[in-house]
Amino acid sequence: MNCRCARPLLLECLEERLPAIAEVAVREHLAACPQCRAELELFRKTLLLAVGDTVPLMPVGANVFLGNVRRRIRAANAPPERGRIKTKLWPVLAAAVVLLAIGILFLSRGPQSQRSPDDLVITGERAAADIIDRAGTETDLVRQIDAQSISAIESELADNAELDDLIEELTPQQQEALVRELTRLYRAPAKPLNGG
Amino acid sequence: MKEDLELVRSFREGDEAGFDELVRRYQQRVYALLYRFVRNPEDATELAQDVFVRAYRALPGFQGKSSFYTWLYRIAVNVALSFLRRRRRRGATDAAEQLDQDAVMNLPSPDNPARDLEQVRLRETIARAVDALPARQRATFIMRQYQQLTNDEIAESLKCPVGTVKANYFFAVKNLQQKLLHSELAARVKGLV
């Protein structure tokens, strides 16, 4: 083993995460190479310093923490908090984002879809592009956007911090307007391919 | 003691106590992870609570393909990065200012002021160096060095290949090394046994 092969493995070696065969090879190289030994030593010192960076105690006790989580969950479920709107919004949003993106990619570009937030469209385009890649015709496409697909997309969106941020930044009025708009789009009949 | 997935299952069947147990089990680790990103105990606590609220809402969709805590860490890392982005946009207290506040909170004790001051400065330097890492390297370094996650677990949490995790960790340590070596503590680094 030469230095070029050994160096990327030094950290793994230091932390004893290398497979046995690789470790033997790295150790043999280290025994013969003072430069790599020096590099290993620097890694060791750096990590030793990093370990010294401690975390202060959590300012609240375990039960208070749990109580706060529970309170926030209750608050998120209580009307007319924004969380309730958001919870109601997800299924409609997930389905509408897909339809919206399909509209953009395949069908005529209506003035309503152009009013949607850009970030939302980009997210929708990505989700739709994956589906479109697998589907050849509109019929296949529609078949694939069944309840299961929407549920999967909804689950993905629920973890999407950026989209969440986007919605967080909307005022309650804007959120309601978005719900209305997406609901309208969701319920609108799909236009035929090449039809507009 | 019940396994995580058992608790998840019982929660999904309507047993709220299952979720409470998961919160108790992971609150400290999630808090510690978030603290590494935001460097403020109050913000880290708030965000940790936010992580569990999100987890509560998303648990019905959790498919159990990964372990519960890598799934939870993924939410936590997203929450942390999103918080840092918002903080940058608002131009509010950044991590460096927070470190200055921490330094004030950690004033040296009268018993051994020189040593304590040195420790405070050391902590600040390390924290600044970690904060200055690119987001992916930082997340990888924190999860591996402080949370003791394996490469596979980090890859699952960050949704990237294991090779990317290894590369990010390697470059994170190299970057830290450069920053520390060029800092005022260079002499101390070199003098460590």
Digit-coded pLDDT (tens) for A1-23: 888 888 888 888 888 888 888 88
Are the beta carbons of B61 and A158 closer than 8 angstroms? yes
A179 vs A53, residue with greater confidence = A53
How many A/B residue pairs have CB atoms within 8 Å?
A: 112
Separation in Å, CA of A122 to nearest CA in chain B: 18
Task: Check whether residue A101 and residue A182 sit in a common domain.
Answer: yes
Q: Which helix (H) or strand (E) holds A45?
A: helix A34-51
Domain check: are A90 and A172 in the same one? yes
Residues A85, A15, single domain; the answer is: no
pTM: 0.59
In the prediction, which pLDDT does B42 show?
A: 93
pLDDT in tens, B106-160: 444 445 555 566 666 777 777 888 888 888 899 999 999 888 898 999 998 888 8
Does residue A72 sit within a domain? no
Which residue, chain included where needed, has tokens 């490469």? B151
The pLDDT value recorded for residue B2 is 80
- A137 and A85 fall within a common domain: yes
Q: What angle do CA B22, B81, A161 make, to 5 degrees?
A: 70
Q: Quick one: average pLDDT of B73-96?
A: 78
User: What is the sign of the dihedral through the CA atoms of A5, A8, A12 and A18?
Assistant: negative
pLDDT at A136: 47
Whether residues A91 and A47 fall in one domain: no
pLDDT at A152 over 80: no
Contact present, B7 and B29 (Cβ < 8 Å): no
- Sequence spans of domains, chain B: 1-92
Answer yes or no: do A106 and A176 share one domain: yes
Q: What is the 3-state secondary structure of B43-86? A: HHHHHHHHHHHHHHHHHHHCCCCCCHHHHHHHHHHHHHHHHHHH
Q: Which chain B residue is nearest to residue A11, measuring alpha carbons?
A: B170
Q: What proportion of chain A, given as a percentage, has pLDDT over 90?
A: 12
Average of per-residue pLDDT across A67-94: 70
Q: In angstroms, rounded to a whole number, what is the distance separating the alpha carbons of residues B42 and A62?
A: 14
Note whether B126 contacts A164, CB cutoff 8 Å.
no
Question: What is the structure's pLDDT at B190?
Answer: 54
A116 shares a domain with A42: no
Tell me, what's the pLDDT at B54? Answer: 94
In this structure, is residue A145 part of a structural domain? Answer: yes
In this structure, are A179 and A85 located in the same domain?
yes
Number of domains in chain A: 2
| A130 domain-assigned | yes
Q: Are residues A100 and A170 in the same domain?
A: yes
Between residues A155 and A60, the one the model is more confident about: A60
What pLDDT sits at residue A142? 47
Q: Are B60 and B14 in contact (CB under 8 A)?
A: no
Which chain A residues are within 8 Å of B177, Cβ to Cβ? 42-43, 46
In a domain, A12, yes or no: yes
Interchain pair A56, B41: CB under 8 A: yes
Say whether both A44 and A89 belong to one domain: no
Report yes or no on A67 lying in a domain: no
pLDDT at A157: 54
Q: Which residue has the tokens 């969440």?
A: A164
pLDDT of A66 reads 93
A14, A64, A65, A164: best to mutate for the B interface, most B CBs within 10 A: A65
d(CA B136, CA B161): 13
Interface test with chain A among B16, B21, B26, B27, by most A beta carbons within 10 Å: B27
Which structural domain, as residue segments, surrounds residue A13?
A: 3-51
Tell me the C-alpha distance between A126 and A118, whole Å.
Answer: 13
* Structure confidence by residue, pLDDT tens digits, B160-181: 899 999 999 999 998 888 887 7
pLDDT over threshold 90, residue B101: no
Q: Which is nearest to A162 in space by CA: A131, A124, A128?
A: A124
pLDDT tens, position by position, A98-131? 777 776 666 554 444 444 445 544 555 555 555 5
Residue range B1-92, CATH number: 1.10.1740.10
Q: Which two tokens stand for residue B18?
A: 């299952």
Average pLDDT, integer, range A164-191? 61
How is residue B192 annotated by DSSP? Answer: -
In a domain, A59, yes or no: no
The pLDDT score that the predictor gives to residue B180 is: 75
Nearest to A161 by CA among B164, B54, B155, B139: B54
Residue A75 belongs to some domain of the structure? no
What does the pLDDT read at residue B56? Answer: 94
Q: Is the peptide bond before A189 cis (omega within 30 degrees of 0)?
A: no
CB atoms A53 and B126 under 8 Å: yes
pLDDT in tens, A28-51: 999 999 999 988 888 888 888 777
Same domain, A98 and A177: yes
Q: What is the pLDDT of residue B88?
A: 76
A162: chain B residues, CB-CB within 8 Å: 82
Same domain, A100 and A141: yes
Can you give the pLDDT at residue B53?
95
pLDDT of B154: 92
Please check whether residue A13 lies inside any domain of the structure.
yes
Q: What is the pLDDT of residue A78?
A: 62
Q: What digits encode the pLDDT tens for the residues B9-63? A: 999 888 899 999 999 999 999 999 999 999 899 999 999 999 999 999 999 888 8
Residue with tokens 């070696």: A13
